[in-house]
Amino acid sequence: MKISRNWLRKIVPFDWTVEELAEKLTMSGSEVESIEDFSHNFENILTAEVKNVVKHPDADKLTVCEVYDGSQSYSVVCGAPNVAAGQKVILAKVGAELPGGLKIKKAKIRGVESEGMICSHKELDLGEDASGIAVLPENTELGTPIREIVGEEDYILELEITPNRPDCLSHRGLAREVQALEGGRLSSPVINLTESDVDASDEVTVSIDNPGDCPRYAARVIKNVKIGPSPLWLSTILHRLGIRSINNVVDITNYVMMEYGHPLHAFDFDLFEENKVVVRGAGKGEKFTTLDEVEREIPEGSVFITDGIKPVALGGVMGGLDSEVTVNTRNILLESAYFNPVTIRKTAKAVKLSTESSQRFERGADCENLNIALDRASALIAELTGGDIARGIVDCYPDKHKLVSIQISASEVNRLLGTELSLSKIESILRLLDINTKHGDSDILTAEIPSFRPDLTRPADLIEEIARIYGFGNINSREQLAGSTEVTIPESFRIADQMRSFFTSAGFDEVVNWVLYDPKKYDKSNLQFNPVTISNPLSEDTAILRPRLWGSLLDNICYNLNRNLEDIAVFEIGHVYSAVESSDELPEQRLSLCLAWTGNARYPGWDVPARPVDIYDLKGLVEDFINEFNLRESEFVELTDDSQFDPVYDKEMLLGLNINNRTVCRFGRVAGNILSIFDIKTPVWIMELDLEYLQAKTFAQGYYKEPPKFPPSDRDLALVVDRGLQFGEIYNFITDLRLPFLEDIRLFDIYTGKQIDPGKKSLALSLRFRHPERTLKDKDIDKVMEKIISELKSKYKLDLRQ
């Protein structure tokens, strides 16, 4: 919503600078988003008449015009295609400076002297039209300085008006705000309405079939109008407010809308088939062509204004093309109606048409005072077009709007605001907003809500009015906190926090990605998903909620590889979503963690060689994870069964971690076909963790264990075994012997090579022994070692390596 500082000041006096005005409006709820300066001195620019036009002797597209300003004639070379003798125009004389900075000098143009310039609207920044010179109405007085018409100084403020304040979509509404902010008193324009002898009620009848949707319809008839361009003051103010000038009649309806906030519509009354207005609901499947020349299917129940035969307007939204006011229009019907906000909103939404009119009606126009806007516009139209206003308003208003009154006490106000406002202070604020109040001796005040404030229906609404005019800044900031309640934090937040600390300490950078994701990437992966799909996505590549996290992380890997990073270790914690069968249930949302790792596990340093990531880096990480969070009952598993296998991974490089026989973590190398979807050419390892499950299963806590008192003894053992034999088998075998004193078995080397048989490998183990109550002697250990070796030898045909 744009307002002119000058126009506002005509309605309500104030002596603030435009910045002060903006600040006050912003701090009372009408946020000023920008201020545009339209100030210009317009010196030596005035109205004039083109007396004579002759072709330029040396240029086809130029003319030489004799231009008369009421006292003197000037010879002006003009290039506009529309210049013609008899036109009222704007002349910039020698010495003028145009808003764009162009200075008008005496100049010879192709050998002909020019003493000025005939201007277009655009050149003076008084309109958008740059196609030709501005042609003013025929009755324009000559020699009037332009600055007397449009002012030397004006500022246009662009405001964000909240949807509850339809009254502020007008200059008068905002002037009332200024009044409440202790500017001067609001004044009303003098409406010089001269009516003819013809009775409007003889010209037209109005009936409403659907008073629920259109509670009131008022109209005037204006005859013998002469349609033409708007005078400069009118076209200029509309231009500055961002409204295109059409013709004098349409411009006045817009002008009055910007003044009073009430949308009006002018019809070419001669195009009505019958002399009546019948307001009715649209039937099923009815079509209608609106002013913007689009034929639309109108939703059933919308409001049609008809002439008894055919619709002439989509009520409250837009007029019809077939009854549009044009240069040929002679008689007009001027509508000032009130429509049900919900009806208008439904229609505007369905036909996807949000107009100045629909925006006001759907927020709530002023039902009671709509004939003031009608009179104001009629008077101005008669003045500009020479039309004759038929006597009286034809007003159909079956059920009079009931005014609301609200009772409120000072204690109620102060209870909500934490203030100590007196009843008289409250009363004076409300009165500045033109809300009448009364109270007898009691503490309770009755506020009579004017019809232009449909947003005020309850005491809370009034309290807001009091607070914003009193000033939010004047309300104390109370910083004592009242009594406490038990403070809790959901397990999901706690676990996410723990995970963040763990994985960042482990060297992974946290990333945060969009939840909206590209279904194509998952489709290409040939995995089974049941994604949650958005029915009205922003774009095809953000049409689903991500079913798993790895896609986002592979995007991150790709992005960073493309920026020359090589060693990338990232993780994300977030929800993943899957659709559910039942239509009234919300989709399933699970908290998940995924990490992705590429490049080196150990980054190269000046004395440290690099080493690429492999599966054992991931396994080590998971082992650390188990240890950190005391995950008892966990075991590593191979996920090779078809039921367990996950095709995101390479089949050979996938492991899982089971807790209570449920796989809560998978990790391994990303399959090549998946990487190619993301255009990644280096191996990437990922790990996925089901935090939803882990959070439900509270982590076990550790307990005190007495540290050993006696020193350990270590013995090394190198076993040459078949290559296919897994370390775990030897480990379990030795452990299951349940030997005395054996505390730990550590693998410190695996050797394959020249020194042993090619089908074999050597496992170097370090065995640690300890006695809880004394220092072990060699012979104690020797006995155990002998037993281990003999048992190993009898079970596996293996050699010891010396």
Partner 1 sequence: MSTLLTRLDELRDKAFGELKNLTSATDLEAFRVKYLGRKGAITGVLRELGSIEPEQRANVGAEANKLKNELTSAFEKHQESLKSKSIPDSKVDLTLPGRSRFLGKKHPISRTIDDIIDIFYSLGFSVAEGPDVETEWYNFDALNTPDDHPARDLADTFYIKDNILLRTHTSPVQIRTMENNKPPVRIIAPGRCYRKDTPDASHAPNFFQTEGLYVDKDVTFSDLKGVINIFARRLFGPEIKVRFRPHFFPFTEPSAEYDFSCLICKGDGCRACKHTGWVEISGAGMVDPAVFEAVGYDPEKYTGYAFGMGVDRITMLRYGIADIRYLYDNDLRVLRGI
Beta strands 311-314 and 303-306 are antiparallel
- Pick from 286, 461, 743, 799 the residue near partner 1 by CB under 8 A: 461
Where b means 16+ CB within 10 Å and e means fewer, 506-523 reads: eebeebebeeebbbebbe
By C-beta, is 201 or 492 nearer to partner 1? 492
User: What CA–CA distances, in Å, run from 140 to 49, 65, 151, 232, 549?
Assistant: 9, 19, 17, 9, 71
Does 353 contact partner 1 by CB under 8 A? Answer: no
* Nearest distance, CB of residue 754 and partner 1, angstroms: 25
Binding marks (x or -) toward partner 1, 333..352, rule CB under 8 A?
--------xx--xx------
Q: Quote the CA–CA distance of 575 and 588 in Å, as a whole number.
A: 10
Residue 324's nearest CA partner among 387, 216, 246, 261 is: 246
User: What CA–CA distances, in Å, run from 413 to 445, 466, 474, 726?
Assistant: 11, 8, 15, 78
* Nearest distance, CB of residue 484 and partner 1, angstroms: 5
Does 100 contact partner 1 by CB under 8 A? Answer: no
By C-beta, is 70 or 163 nearer to partner 1? 163
* Nearest distance, CB of residue 479 and partner 1, angstroms: 4
By C-beta, is 283 or 418 nearer to partner 1? 418
Where b means 16+ CB within 10 Å and e means fewer, 599-609 reads: bbbeeeeeeee
Does 300 contact partner 1 by CB under 8 A? Answer: no
Q: Which stretch binds partner 1 (CB under 8 A): 226-234, 325-333, 396-404, 464-472?
A: 464-472
Does 513 contact partner 1 by CB under 8 A? Answer: yes
* Nearest distance, CB of residue 610 and partner 1, angstroms: 12
SS3 state at 695: helix
Task: For the sheet with 713-722, list strands across it.
Answer: 742-751, 760-769, 713-722, 799-800
* Nearest distance, CB of residue 460 and partner 1, angstroms: 4
- Pick from 13, 18, 27, 75 the residue near partner 1 by CB under 8 A: 27
Q: Quote the CA–CA distance of 318 and 352 in Å, as a whole number.
A: 12
- Pick from 71, 482, 736, 754 the residue near partner 1 by CB under 8 A: 482
- Pick from 386, 398, 507, 708 the residue near partner 1 by CB under 8 A: 507
Residue 646's nearest CA partner among 560, 528, 535, 510 is: 528
By C-beta, is 46 or 159 nearer to partner 1? 159
Residue 622's nearest CA partner among 475, 506, 743, 456 is: 506
Does 545 contact partner 1 by CB under 8 A? Answer: yes
* Nearest distance, CB of residue 769 and partner 1, angstroms: 21
Residue 532's nearest CA partner among 575, 580, 574 is: 580
Cα distance from N-terminal residue to C-terminal residue, the chain: 91
Does 327 contact partner 1 by CB under 8 A? Answer: no
- 3-class DSSP string for 566-635: CCEEEEEEEEEEECCCCCCCCCEEEEEEEEEEECEEECCCCCCCCEECCHHHHHHHHHHHHHHCCCCCEE
Q: Which stretch binds partner 1 (CB under 8 A): 45-53, 91-99, 508-516, 761-769?
A: 508-516
By C-beta, is 565 or 696 nearer to partner 1? 565
Looking only at residues 143 through 162 of this chain, which bind partner 1 when binding is defined by CB under 8 A? 162
407 HSE (CA, 13 A, CB side): 5
Q: How many CB atoms lie within 10 A of CB 423?
A: 18
Backbone angles phi, psi at 672, to 5 degrees: -60, -40
Token couple for 336: 């000032």
Looking only at residues 355 through 374 of this chain, which bind partner 1 when binding is defined by CB under 8 A? 362-363
- Number of residues lying near partner 1 (CB under 8 A): 92
- Pick from 175, 237, 432, 511 the residue near partner 1 by CB under 8 A: 511
Q: How many CB atoms lie within 10 A of CB 176?
A: 23
By C-beta, is 458 or 681 nearer to partner 1? 458
Looking only at residues 570 through 629 of this chain, which bind partner 1 when binding is defined by CB under 8 A? 570-571, 575, 577, 583, 586-587, 589, 603, 605-608
* Nearest distance, CB of residue 564 and partner 1, angstroms: 9
Residue 174's nearest CA partner among 159, 189, 163, 188 is: 159
By C-beta, is 31 or 623 nearer to partner 1? 31
Does 512 contact partner 1 by CB under 8 A? Answer: yes
* Nearest distance, CB of residue 348 and partner 1, angstroms: 10
Does 510 contact partner 1 by CB under 8 A? Answer: yes
Does 504 contact partner 1 by CB under 8 A? Answer: yes
- Pick from 535, 726, 755, 802 the residue near partner 1 by CB under 8 A: 535
Residue 547's nearest CA partner among 580, 512, 517 is: 517
The residue type at 371: N
Looking only at residues 514 through 533 of this chain, which bind partner 1 when binding is defined by CB under 8 A? 514-516, 532-533
By C-beta, is 29 or 519 nearer to partner 1? 29
